[in-house]
Amino acid sequence: MPEVVLNGVPVRFPFEPYEVQKTYMSKVIDCLQRGENGILESPTGTGKTLCLLCSTLAWLEIKKAEYKSHMQISSGQDTPDFLSSLSSQLKAAAGQMWGDKNAPPKIIYSSRTHSQLSQAISELKRTSYSYLRVAIMGSRDQMCVHPEVSKEGNNNLKVHMCQSKVKSKTCYFNTQVEAKRDEPELRQKVLDLEDLVKFGKKKSFCPYYMARELKQDADIIFLPYNYLLDPKSRKAHGIELQGNIIIFDEAHNVEKVCEEAASLQIRSTDLALCIDEVTQVMKKLQDISEGSDIAANASSQGLPDDFSPDDLYTLKALFLELEKAVDDIVLPTDGSGSTFPGSYMFDLLEKADITHHKKAIILEVLDKLVHVNIEEPKKKPGGRQDGWGAPRPNPLNSKVGRLISYWCFNPGFGMKDLSELGVKSIILTSGTLSPIDSFTAELQVPFPIQLENPHIVQRHQVWVGIVSNGPDGFNLNSSFKNRSDPRYINSLGQTILNFSRIIPDGLLVFFPSYPIMRSCRDEWQNSGIWSKISVGKPIFVEPQTKDEFNSAMEEFYQKINDPSQKGACFLAVCRGKVSEGLDFADRNGRAVIITGLPYPPFKDPRVILKQKYLEETRCKYKRGLTGQAWYQLEASRAVNQAVGRVIRHKDDFGAIILCDSRFSAASFKAQLSAWIRPYIHVYNMFGPAMRDIIQFFRNAQTLLPQPEAKSNGRPAISVEYETNEALALPSVSAQAFQAGPSRHLISDSTKKKMAEALSKEADFNNIWSNMNYAKSGDAENVVKCDGSIFTALEQKSSVVNFNSCNISSENLSNYTSIKVQNKKRKIKIVSKSDSTDTIGSVEKQDSQSSLIQVLKASDQKENSSPDMFELGSSSTSQESSGTSQENKTFSQENFLKPPTSLGVQVNIAASSTKPLLTVEPSTSKKDCEDKKLNSVAAYIHEVKSSLSKEKYADFSAAVKNYKQSSDYERVVDILTSLFIDNPQHHRLFRKFEQFLIKDHRPMFRDTCSQMLQKQLH
């Protein structure tokens, strides 16, 4: 396993890390060594989670070794010099701030959901650090294996039932935890939540309480981050923070979780239910008290001995006073509600005699009452239960009452709480934290170490476009006043319909909200747009329930992998389940369409008050966000999270389509993730956007490795693209083509990988397709030669050869040439008998012809029609001639499909009575020779059409000089100056290797490797 040393810490990585990964891991180690907080953004697909785990656990190894060496030295025994030296080195790598005597900390790794934690644990299993002790925390709802408790539908009741059985020692699974905690599988394997539950069922122990045992001596603990940010949950799970490291992965939601943890809601119906429940218990208690031995009867009914009727009277009086206080609040008649400062909550509670001094007494009474409730046998779920467990009708279910919302608008409270509990370092990381300055400002905790990492993908792997208008020219703007306009909804539907036809495989469409998505769905179903989209791609809509969502996702993936389908379309909502935590790698998500800016509902009281709070804070402290800035940030962060679904790894590719004209505002573009900003193009017309997307996917499918599709035995349907432009290769700066560092600076493994990458690139570059000719302007004569670039330079171009393919012999009897008209985009098949005009000649050249003659002949350009190409037989050297307007025309588009492999066969079907023209790869020895000869001629043709007349003269002179002197360095310098300015000419530089003498080719490959390495880094 490769190992890199970062900040003095050796990190073992499953593969050779990229530069962005090294940078990221260095920042993580920097946070740990210095004991400071860090906020690190690295785009999805850069291996962020793997880097986070490897760097953190590598540092932990050093810290544990440093602690052990210190303990050995301090034991009083004679210490060898090498051990003292080793201890000093370990101390430096671990960081001076930790001190010698501090025990190694625990790593508390948190993420938003358990599915994200499972993915992180899967990554950990891939590393060499999987030997470390691991614990994962979860809820009883997820981990309980008790046959009775696990079936309880009410989660709160399930918690109380569990606590009761544990307290009374009536849960067999809990009693087995101590005996089974040293099971080898628990200590020697990394278990995620599902693994632990399965093992608990197998060995008959409680996974929930086993996880709490395992965390005591675990090196790394995985848990959802609301377990950390919610003080009640943190206390309930016994999470120790003193001296430990906290990592928040997928931290873009930390702000909201901090606010939610400090917020609460009280309904008047809840208070009424509490009063009703207490009343029922009081009645039961009165019935019991009629017996001679109250204590004995109470005990038989499940009452604790220390429970008294006065406790119930006190509690009921408290609830009645609180209900009265809530009812006395004066509300406006328009239903908008009233707003009060946060301190009003304490005034309200004080009216019910609920004060800080009486808090402990009230909690004690509530705990007793809850205990009475859950001691009774469980009844069937559904319907309300009274204080003794007897099912009763609930007359308050349909009552509409008042709602008191106590909202926290400062997420800094939750983060400060963590900092003050003795945490050594807090690391926040995600793929979408931009803009980082505003993010840290809201958290109000210093983050001295920051990083905004670029993406590892290249320009040809991602397409980002802002489409301002639909196919009908209607402006795409999902603002509140437009979103209900039938013209807007129709134009948006037509936009998605057109894109769905050219985007391969999976398509994700995100709406600002569920109401907007439902409105569009209904309108499109009525207008027929829905059915038209479904013809090409079955449509799935994001459900709002967990079970339905899982089923929809499974069906979506099945359609993607079904070779009889052209993919599938998933309609979802920004900030919904699909927008984060799910992996749409490769074919599962080739494009994401954002239909509008997902601003929070501007009339929502919470949104209004949040903006008001921010404005007041800014006026008071002269710093922080404005309300409007926060409002826009909420939209941009939701967009950043949604677009991150597409590019999931280094070989992935996809398109990001922003269908709202407001995206083009400079202020909004600045808030998009840094890695997509360089690729943004604004399209005021729909046609150019369609054209560029087609070109993007055509290039990506040609240049990048394609994932294998899962077959179910049905024929596959593939999406192919007609080609009319040269492939656009990744942009390489001029600096990348300057003289690189000495070869010894590049490791052998890097050289090997670069050579393999360039070899694959060369395979694509060696495929000469018609898309190159479509841009070449005037028709040039392509001739046979001896395979030498020197011979090819002297020839006139008269025949275009498509991929060195020949025409089937059965179709050659009546046809000798095909003319392609660029402007009319037609192909004419011309009969021999009708041929009268001579277009050019094909001559077989002597390989020893003079170079001077070659260059002179090359300068004699033929004055052929700029609109015509001619395809001649590759097996003849005779003149081919003539055109006939009466002959059958074929669409040029059929010739403009790039071959996917050397074994490709392209059939052009003729209508009427004309024969079928088949273009196939040559297989005979002579055809192979023709292929080589025409490849040389094609290269010369492309160079000549790509360079200006002056630069082409320099090219010819350089080639002539190289033939005479074999001066490698001079020819490479000249080629570099000719081809670096235009990224589309870089492959011409790379393809020149075939014309170098054998001894110079390895040096040329090394030169290209150096350049590519600079580009990647």
Please report, in range form, the residues annotated as the binding site for [4Fe-4S] cluster: 144, 162, 171, 206
Q: Which residue has the tokens 């400071």?
A: 36
Q: Which neighbouring-strand residues pair with 920?
A: 806
Q: How far, rounded to the nearest angstrom, does the alpha carbon of residue 682 sit from its chain's CA centroid?
A: 23
Taking alpha carbons only, the member of 38, 24, 29 closest to residue 448 is 38
Between CA 937 and CA 955 the distance in angstroms is: 15
Helical ranges in 704-850 per DSSP H:
748-765, 770-774, 789-793
User: Measured between alpha carbons, how far is 53 from 614 in angstroms, rounded to an integer?
Assistant: 36
Cα dihedral across residues 887, 893, 896, 900: positive or negative: negative
Backbone angles phi, psi at 247, to 5 degrees: -120, 125
Residue 806 in 3-state DSSP? strand
Determine contact, residues 63/666, Cβ cutoff 8 Å: no
Instruction: Tell me the DSSP string of 658-708.
Output: E--GGGGSHHHHTTS-TTTGGGEEEESSHHHHHHHHHHHHHHHHHHSPPPP
Integer Cα distance of 989 and 976 in angstroms: 7
Give the pair of three-digit tokens for residue 79.
């210490």
- Give residue 330's identity as a one-letter amino acid code: V
CA 478 centroid distance within chain: 25
Q: Cα(799)–Cα(797) distance, rounded to whole angstroms?
A: 6
Contact 752, 2 (CB under 8 A): no
Count the alpha carbons within 13 Å of 635 in the hemisphere toward its beta carbon. Answer: 26
Provide the 3-class DSSP secondary structure of residue 628.
helix
Report the C-alpha gap between 378 and 532 in whole angstroms.
Answer: 53
Question: Please, which residues bridge with residue 805 across strands?
Answer: 921
CB-based contact 649:588 (threshold 8 Å): no
Residue 583, C-beta contacts closer than 8 angstroms, at least 6 positions apart:
119, 648
The neighbouring-strand residues paired with 294 are: none
Q: Per 3-state DSSP, what percentage of the chain is helix, strand, and coil (rounded to 5)? A: 50, 10, 40
User: Helix 81-94 and helix 48-73: axis angle, to 10°?
Assistant: 140
Residue 933's alpha-carbon distances to 25, 840, 936, 985, in angstroms, are 51, 18, 5, 21
The H or E element spanning position 870 is strand 868-872
Q: Are 889 and 907 in contact (CB under 8 A)?
A: no
End-to-end CA distance of the chain: 22
Q: How far apart are CA 30 and CA 56, in angstroms?
A: 10
Pairwise CA distance, residues 1016 & 1013, whole Å: 5
Question: Which alpha helices (DSSP H) does 181-306 contain, by range?
Answer: 184-188, 193-203, 207-214, 226-229, 231-236, 254-261, 268-289, 294-300
d(CA 612, CA 625): 11
Q: Which of 767, 806, 789, 802 is nearest to 937 (CA)?
A: 789
Quote the CA–CA distance of 241 and 233 in Å, as a whole number.
13
Name, in order, each residue with C-beta under 8 angstroms of 616's C-beta and a sequence gap of 6 or more.
none
CB count in 10 Å sphere of residue 527? 15
Specify the amino acid at residue 421: L
